Amino acid sequence: DVKVTQSSRYLVKRTGEKVFLECVQDMDHENMFWYRQDPGLGLRLIYFSYDVKMKEKGDIPEGYSVSREKKERFSLILESASTNQTSMYLCASATPPGGEAEAFFGQGTRLTVV
Amino acid sequence: GESVGLHLPTLSVQEGDNSIINCAYSNSASDYFIWYKQESGKGPQFIIDIRSNMDKRQGQRVTVLLNKTVKHLSLQIAATQPGDSAVYFCAELTSGGSYIPTFGRGTSLIVHP
């Protein structure tokens, strides 16, 4: 089974802290994604990566950055956490365009910024 | 204090009834569609997918219907069970471009015993 693992289920951070959310997948997928999920707003794409060291902005990249130094690992970074970044963060991985496979999700990290 | 967001569309059904969850997609170039189920406290899980060269696909207790003319997707769940209670999302993708799933807002399904 494909496994996408996020390092933390729950995090509480203070305003202004630098926050790292880690995601690891074990299926050798090229594409990885970070979404945030807020009540009634669905999943909104923050950043995605289609290869090592490659990254593209999604719909809401402001306040975030990402790092993909290895194929299996995609990190989301909040340079200076703010309360409006309190949310559920979901990492996903998928095969390249044209593949049959759907995006596989991690279990999510619920981040609270106080 | 707790933030208040938009309320999800909600479908309430009795156990044993059939459920139909609808989704309108936006990109006429989308050619691959997926339904996900998200239970409380978990990440979304794949249910069923369909390509644009099909208008119907069946799985175990689930059927997805695709109407490309009106850009509409539906998920039918037969004999709904309490374990089906979850939020359901549709996702659209364009296989010819970069593989980025775009998700709808989701529908909350509540199954009453």
**pLDDT tens digit string along B3-30?**
334 567 899 999 999 999 999 988 888 8
CATH topology of domain B20-112: Immunoglobulin-like (2.60.40)
Determine what percent of chain A falls in helix, strand and coil, rounding each to the nearest 5: 5, 55, 40
Residue the block writes with tokens 């809401």 = A60
Closest to A45 in 3D by CA, of A29, A31, A34: A34
Where along chain A do its domains lie?
Answer: 4-113
Q: pLDDT, tens digit, for every residue of A28-87?
A: 888 899 999 998 788 999 999 988 999 999 999 999 999 999 999 999 999 999 999 999
Tell me whether residues B44 and A106 touch, CB distance under 8 A.
Answer: no
pLDDT of residue B1: 34
The reply to whether residue B42 touches residue A45, judged by beta carbons under 8 angstroms, is: no
CB neighbourhood size of B39 (10 A) = 13
Residue of chain B whose alpha carbon sits nearest to that of A9:
B41
| Superfamily of domain A4-113 in the CATH hierarchy | Immunoglobulins (2.60.40.10)
Higher model confidence: residue B59 or residue B2?
A: B59
Judge contact between A102 and B102, C-beta under 8 A: no
pLDDT confidence tier of residue A1, bands split at 50, 70 and 90: low
Residue linked to tokens 């999800």? B8
Confidence of residue B107 (pLDDT cuts 50, 70, 90): very high
**Using an 8 Å Cβ cutoff, are B66 and B91 in contact?**
no
List, as ranges, residues 15-54 from B with C-beta within 8 Å of A.
Answer: 34, 36, 41-46, 49
